[in-house]
């Protein structure tokens, strides 16, 4: 960055800098706490670069994000758009626009494969082939999702040109949910040196006990990819039945399910958010708590409370609020809010790439186990 270069040139950086990229990252972390939280994800993306589809490849912010993603060494951006994307890249200062891969959903040689794939999934569910052809040609979400499903890329981001729910619905037409799961959204809150995840902020109005348990498990895995050791609280306006309340049985059942699963992370509930986040209060009034510190994952009782909490914190609290990030799809897809900046999109692409790498590692581990057993 310009700041890092200035520090070197001016002598502000007293010691020789062996790794300028690490020094830039350190400076960014000092200026922006969200960078510190995401540092493991950025390092992982650079160590394991992936091909990431940028479905809205004609949008200026998306192009800026793709340029930054490529130049930072996080992976290869694959832009979905028309041929004039190359001219737009040139206008944004790219010396060799043809170094970027652009897929045109109208005339790419891959269109036929995309149509075959989607039609094969939905031909018995009211879709005509010509309708699928129109969707693929005219809507880049369908085309990009099919490219991901067909292995032409490792991950995908979208969302800047349409509402979140619409993007998710289109993606789920092509990419199925993980087995036994419903996708959900998780926001990351960075405040006063603490990082807290809130879920489900995007999808399910009132989860079942099974869904609460799944949200806790997948959120915990996501937290670990960010370098956090998960401590989950199932939140409510009541704490362990005081005061008595409705709609808490599903939360209690989720705790029992995780006990039965022998989940490898800490969890507790039901708890009010102030109790969940204040460990001194937990130990004073609820010494039987199973948490070893303040909760850093809040599984909310419903979509409205989760989404409202994240948005209020973003607008009133001055905290850094990232997301929502989508978990629970069979393939790595992230959906940006329509207000996303280029840096937000880079972060989403990095997270999607990290998700892709984690999935590939799990597949490799299963294959290795199978080989040992055979």
Tell whether omega for the bond before 295 is within 30 degrees of 0, i.e. cis: no
pLDDT-based confidence at residue 24 (cuts at 50, 70, 90): low
- pLDDT tens, 262-285? 999 999 989 999 999 999 999 999
Per-residue buried b or exposed e for 199-237, using 16+ beta carbons within 10 Å of the residue's own CB: bbbbbbeebebebbbbbbbbbbebbeebebebbbbbbbe
Cα gap 321→296, rounded to integer Å = 14
Q: Is the pLDDT of residue 254 over 60?
A: yes
Angle, alpha carbons 212-165-142 (nearest 5°): 115
pLDDT-based confidence at residue 32 (cuts at 50, 70, 90): low
- pLDDT tens, 342-360? 988 999 999 999 999 989 9
Question: What pLDDT sits at residue 315?
Answer: 84
- DSSP run (H or E) holding 186: strand 184-191
Question: What pLDDT sits at residue 15?
Answer: 47
How many CB atoms within 10 Å of residue 332? 27
Question: What pLDDT sits at residue 54?
Answer: 98
Q: Is the pLDDT of residue 2 over 50?
A: no
Q: Is the pLDDT of residue 366 over 90?
A: no
CATH number of 48-176+330-373: 3.40.50.10950
Question: What pLDDT sits at residue 174?
Answer: 96
- pLDDT tens, 45-61? 999 999 999 999 999 99
Cα gap 30→25, rounded to integer Å = 9
Whether the CB-CB separation of 104 and 79 falls below 8 Å is answered with no
Q: Do domains 48-176+330-373 and 184-324 have the same CATH topology?
A: yes
Q: Report DSSP letters for 2-31, one per residue.
A: HHHHHHHHHT-S-S--S-HHHHHHHHHHHH
Question: What pLDDT sits at residue 227?
Answer: 83
- DSSP run (H or E) holding 281: helix 279-285
More confident residue, 253 or 39: 253
Question: What pLDDT sits at residue 301?
Answer: 94
Q: Report DSSP letters for 64-107, one per residue.
A: HHHHHHHHTTSEEEEEES-TTHHHHHHHTT-S-GGGSEEE-TTT
Which of 26-30, 190-194, 233-237 has maximum average pLDDT?
Answer: 233-237
pLDDT-based confidence at residue 319 (cuts at 50, 70, 90): low
Q: Is the pLDDT of residue 289 over 90?
A: yes
pLDDT-based confidence at residue 6 (cuts at 50, 70, 90): very low
pLDDT-based confidence at residue 8 (cuts at 50, 70, 90): very low
For the chain, give the percent of residues with pLDDT over 90: 70
Domain boundaries, the chain: 48-176+330-373, 184-324
- For residue 177, the 8-state DSSP code is B
Cα gap 91→97, rounded to integer Å = 10
Ranking 102-111, 166-175, 190-199, 311-320 by mean pLDDT, the lowest is 311-320
CATH 3.30.565.10 for the 184-324 domain, yes or no: no
Question: What pLDDT sits at residue 23?
Answer: 53
């Amino acid at each position: 960055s310009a700041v890092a270069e200035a520090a070197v040139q001016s002598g502000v950086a007293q010691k020789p800098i062996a790794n300028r990229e690490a020094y830039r990252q350190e400076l960014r972390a000092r200026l922006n706490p969200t960078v510190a939280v995401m540092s493991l994800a950025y390092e992982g993306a650079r160590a394991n670069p992936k091909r990431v589809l940028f479905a809205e490849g004609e949008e200026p912010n998306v192009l800026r994000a793709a340029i930054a993603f490529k130049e930072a060494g996080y992976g290869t951006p694959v832009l979905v758009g028309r041929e004039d994307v190359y001219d737009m890249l040139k206008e944004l200062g790219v010396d060799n626009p043809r170094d970027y891969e652009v897929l045109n959903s109208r005339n790419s040689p891959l269109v036929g494969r995309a149509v075959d794939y989607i039609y094969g999934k939905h031909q018995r569910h009211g879709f005509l082939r010509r309708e699928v052809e129109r969707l693929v040609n005219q809507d880049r979400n369908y085309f990009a999702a099919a490219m991901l499903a067909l292995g032409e890329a490792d991950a995908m981001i979208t969302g800047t040109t349409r509402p979140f729910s619409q993007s998710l619905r289109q993606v789920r037409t092509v990419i199925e949910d993980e087995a036994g799961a419903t996708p959900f959204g998780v926001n990351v809150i960075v405040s006063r040196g603490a990082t807290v995840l809130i879920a489900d902020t995007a999808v399910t109005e009132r989860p079942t006990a099974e869904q609460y348990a799944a949200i806790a498990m997948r959120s915990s895995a996501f937290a670990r990819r960010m370098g956090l050791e998960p401590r989950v609280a199932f939140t409510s306006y009541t704490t362990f039945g005081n005061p008595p309340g409705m709609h808490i049985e599903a939360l209690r059942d989720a705790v029992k399910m995780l006990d039965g699963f022998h989940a490898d992370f800490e969890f507790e509930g039901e708890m009010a958010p102030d109790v969940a986040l204040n460990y001194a209060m937990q130990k004073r009034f609820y010494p039987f708590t199973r948490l070893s510190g303040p909760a850093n994952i809040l599984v909310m009782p419903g979509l409205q409370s989760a989404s409202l909490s994240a948005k209020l914190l973003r607008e009133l609290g001055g905290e850094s609020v990232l997301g929502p990030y989508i978990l629970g799809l069979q393939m790595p897809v992230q959906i940006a809010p329509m207000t996303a900046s280029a840096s937000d999109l880079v972060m989403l692409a990095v997270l999607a790439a990290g998700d892709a790498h984690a999935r590939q590692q799990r597949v490799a581990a299963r294959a290795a186990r199978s080989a040992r057993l055979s």
